Amino acid sequence: MPTTRIGLLLFPNLTQLDLTGPAEVFARMPGAELHLIWKTRDPVPSDRTLTILPTTTFADCPTLDLICVPGGPGQVALMEDDETLDFLRRIAETCTLVTSVCTGSLVLAAAGLLTGYRATSHWSSIDQLALLGAIPTHERVVRDRNRITGAGVTSGIDFALTVVAELAGPEAAQEIQLQLEYDPAPPYDSGTPDTAPPEILAAARAKSANFMARRRAATERAAARLPHA
């Protein structure tokens, strides 16, 4: 059975489910070899208590078949982190699939890897993709040539199952979905801006307004650095 080398980027203050959701799916794919990648092998803190240990570094990372960039608050700093952006450009050159979950797509776009591609992101930030030369697409999982992007957080599981179907076939993806008993039945129909009650959406926007201003400022600075800007 051929080996499929899958790399997931780690970085401080990422949203851990953006990474661990896809990682749980990918790890069950036949022939998968997972790599959790950061600048060092030191523990990396997420934005919600959990700390994750890298398995390799930028310098030691082998050639990959797939690179995946998760999102989270720490994504803002990555938009101007030349070491990370250079690594993504380098590793993407030989990847069969270049992918992201949530606001990880903004990092890919800041590296120039989504210019002219349809892509998605978290609902709160998807419009910012246009500033970076990508084409915002309001779907849970978006495929454009060899780019596959997932929307916010929990969509990483849907995204990963889509990728497994691409790499190992739909039967493998369905078996993994069954193993995980992935059969969502949320208690409320408030998972998107279109379905959430207006007062809930307004409260969520107000709560994140200051952070969203910082994210947009970082996106605008990253856009100014791109060749097309």
104: its two tokens: 């990880």
Q: CA 19 → CA 46, 132, 220, distances in Å?
A: 10, 23, 25
Query: What is the distance between the alpha carbons of residues 98 and 35, in angstroms, rounded to a whole number?
Result: 15
Provide the 8-state DSSP code for 174.
Answer: H
Q: What are phi and psi of 58, to 5 degrees?
A: -55, -45
Q: In whole angstroms, what is the distance from residue 65 CA to residue 168 CA?
A: 13
Separation of alpha carbons 37 and 179, rounded Å: 26
Is residue 98 classed as helix, strand or coil in its secondary structure? Answer: strand
With residue 199 as reference, give the H or E element that holds it: helix 198-225
Active site positions, annotated: 102
The DSSP 8-state label assigned to residue 35 in this structure reads E
Write the CB contacts of 65 (distance below 8 Å, at least 6 apart in sequence).
4, 5, 6, 95, 96, 97, 167
Cα Rg, the chain, nearest whole Å:
17
